[in-house]
């Protein structure tokens, strides 16, 4: 793999020293550093990096203004290095909506050994960014603060069918698109694993809830699977489903990572296959690696319906490609066709039932 040139943009002198150090020896060359956005834009023109890591809290030109200019002038992939705070999470999701490729969570204590915890994640995301398709910038679309019809799931009977969604890099935008297009009367429960750091998923769920007619929340153990409810797996937990006497529920676990990941899409998909069998529907979307591929295969093997996002609309094609190459996807669809395909799946099922 050719050497990847990276520009590190951070107002912390410590981070400007630590990030190049943890990237050493991984076919990644830090060609320069910058302490704010103005310096960064000058160095981009001079050094021509392949990928940029970007802090959002900087003096003079902050990270958001810098990202806006990078997307506008250079169309380079940007990985946000985000603070573990509510404000940091809000800024991170805004940056992803503006066109940032992905993010890593900055360790709470950069002087401790925690800095090493992000090394593998950052290296993998830099490599994925360097190889990624250049998805067109999405712009700063405002939040839909109150959909016209907001689903109220209280009092709904337990769901008889479930949709399981799995995604990673590029997933926040993909999930936003899919969930915002589904109608308030969608007749199934939806369970989601998005590879995301602990501390960010609650706010992510709240943003999706604000943009969807469905009810979206971060999952808790014991949450009922209800028609029109979307449960987002918390960071650093596994999510599975289980049928109980009163109806199916979400179950969170902290057992060992699967495929090196917690949460793992495979954990969710395998439980959905076991508990729902032929009534299950699953979608594997953009993301690096192969997490979810075998789980998708198990859902298909038990008679469930499986979809995979196509290469052209993925930010990173790894996860869907792994499933498609193994023959586990019943259909391969562009992102914009997935919501309609889900609606059609349940419309055909309800039609068959009425006949």
Gap between the Cα atoms of 172 and 101, Å rounded? 10
Do 326 and 284 meet the contact criterion of CB atoms below 8 Å apart? no
Please state at what angle helix 318-325 crosses helix 293-301, rounded to 10 degrees: 40
223 counts as catalytic: no
For residue 35, give the DSSP letter: S
Work out the burial of residue 355: count CB atoms within 10 Å of its CB; fewer than 13 is exposed, 13-18 middle, 19 or more buried: exposed
177 counts as catalytic: no
**Residues pairing with 8 in the sheet:** 33, 53
Catalytic residue among 82, 132, 168, 271: 168
Catalytic residue among 195, 209, 238, 266: 195
Catalytic residue among 36, 50, 55, 291: 291
Q: How far is CA 112 from CA 81, 115, 120, 156, 353, in A?
A: 17, 7, 16, 48, 59
Instruction: Report the run of H or E that residue 332 belongs to, with start and end.
Output: strand 331-333
291 counts as catalytic: yes
Please state at what angle helix 338-354 crosses helix 171-181, rounded to 10 degrees: 40
Gap between the Cα atoms of 215 and 251, Å rounded? 18
Gap between the Cα atoms of 291 and 336, Å rounded? 22
DSSP string computed for 292-321: THHHHHHHHHTT-EEEEE-GGG-SS-HHHH
Return the biggest CA–CA distance within the chain: 69
Q: Which residues are catalytic?
A: 168, 195, 291
């Amino acid at each position: 793999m050719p050497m990847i040139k990276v520009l590190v943009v951070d107002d912390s002198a410590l981070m400007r020293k630590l990030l190049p150090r943890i990237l050493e020896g991984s076919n990644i060359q830090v060609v320069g550093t910058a302490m704010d956005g103005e310096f960064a834009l000058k160095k981009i023109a001079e050094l021509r990096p392949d990928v940029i890591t970007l802090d959002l809290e900087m003096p003079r030109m902050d990270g958001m203004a810098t990202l806006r200019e990078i997307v506008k002038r250079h169309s380079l992939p940007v990985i946000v290095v985000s603070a573990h705070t509510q404000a940091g999470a809000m800024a991170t999701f805004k940056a992803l909506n503006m066109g940032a490729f992905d993010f890593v969570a900055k360790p709470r204590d950069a002087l401790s050994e925690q800095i090493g915890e992000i090394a593998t994640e950052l290296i993998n995301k830099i490599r994925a960014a360097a190889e990624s398709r250049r998805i067109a910038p999405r712009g700063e679309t405002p939040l839909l603060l109150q959909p016209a019809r907001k689903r109220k799931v209280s009092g709904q009977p337990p769901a008889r069918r479930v949709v399981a969604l799995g995604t990673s890099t590029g997933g926040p935008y993909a999930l936003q698109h899919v969930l915002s297009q589904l109608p308030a009367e969608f007749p199934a429960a939806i369970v989601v694993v998005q590879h995301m750091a602990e501390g960010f998923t609650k706010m992510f769920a709240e943003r999706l809830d604000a943009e969807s007619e469905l009810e979206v929340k971060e999952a808790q153990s014991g949450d009922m699977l209800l028609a029109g409810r979307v449960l987002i797996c918390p960071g650093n937990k596994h999510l599975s489903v289980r049928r109980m006497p009163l109806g199916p529920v979400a179950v969170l676990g902290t057992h060992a990572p699967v495929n090196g990941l917690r949460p793992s899409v495979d954990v969710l998909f395998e439980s959905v296959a076991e508990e729902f069998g032929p009534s299950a529907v699953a979608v594997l979307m953009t993301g690096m690696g192969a997490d979810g591929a075998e789980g998708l295969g198990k859902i298909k093997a038990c008679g469930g319906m499986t979809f995979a996002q196509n290469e052209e609309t993925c930010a990173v094609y790894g996860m869907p490609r792994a499933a498609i190459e193994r023959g586990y996807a019943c259909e391969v669809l562009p992102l914009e066709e997935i919501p309609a395909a889900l609606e059609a799946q349940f419309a055909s099922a309800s039609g068959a039932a009425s006949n």
